[in-house]
Amino acid sequence: MSTPDRKTAEVRHLLESGAHPVVPAELAYRAAELGLRMLHRRRIVRRLMWLLLAAAVIVFVVWAATVQPWVAPPSTVTPPVDGL
Amino acid sequence: MRERHSTRHRRRTREFEAFVAGAGGRLLHAATLLTAEPVDANPRARRLLTSALAETYARWHRLRGEDPYDRTRQELAARFARAAWRHHRPAVPGLPRPAAETGLLARLTPQERLILVLRLYEGVAEEQTAATVGLPVDRVRAICTRAVTAMRSTPPAPPAPAAPAPEVAT
């Protein structure tokens, strides 16, 4: 009867032992190339997001300046006070 | 500016290549254990490792003292878990396994493999494994115990699976 620790050690040994795969020579090169492509893609996406944000801010400012939604419209309900 | 950029890029590539030269063997072995492919025909493991390493490369200057090995292992585990979830093939006992899965851990499910490799081969702590896999710690412990039992119940015959688990094939 072996303890759980023994079993674990056995399986660990099993994982460690045995043939190891051969590392392909171009692994680092390919990974670096792929990583560089990832960086470029991310940079482009980031730029696009900033551009979009800038465009949204500009559109909002122009809209706010022309419409001026904080100004209350002149009242059309009260009749003009004249003839008193 | 461009000059500085290219020096930085070259230094990063040099450091990265040194890292891969040192850690590549162990990481590729771990990846091959995960995909349960034979040691000499492991295209999935290579692809998995290449993309995980690419992520490490892309973050090289933002690691901030974090071990690139840990980072890559984390990425490898996450990518393997995602891929296993996408091509979710329940391992039905009795049905033949996919042809590529004849490696050492072929009799385990992808989740069991992931936990076994992280806990025993990589020696990652239980809490961190649980965080990586997204399960509670006691579930991780239970799955690890189950995987260890499964690995010991059938004698390992990785090169020639002549007797593919007779008690399972009912």
Write out pLDDT tens, residues B100-132: 667 788 888 889 999 999 999 999 999 999 998
To the nearest whole Å, the CA of B73 is away from the closest chain A CA by 15
For chain B, domain boundaries = 2-87+101-153
B96-108: per-residue pLDDT in tens? Answer: 555 566 778 888 8
Is pTM beyond 0.95? Reply is no
Q: Which residue of B has its CA nearest to A31?
A: B54
Domain that holds residue A37: 27-66
Per the listing, tokens 């329940």 go with B90
> Cβ–Cβ of B116/A21 closer than 8 Å?
no
Is residue A50 assigned to a domain? yes
B8-60: per-residue pLDDT in tens? Answer: 888 889 999 999 999 999 999 999 999 988 888 889 999 999 999 999 999 99
> Cβ–Cβ of A14/B45 closer than 8 Å?
no
User: CA B137 to CA B97: how far, in whole Å?
Assistant: 29
> Cβ–Cβ of A28/B24 closer than 8 Å?
yes
**Cβ atoms within 10 Å, residue B32:** 27
Architecture of the B2-87+101-153 domain = Up-down Bundle (1.20)
pLDDT attached to residue B88: 59
User: CA B135 to CA B129: how far, in whole Å?
Assistant: 9
Total number of domains in chain A? 1
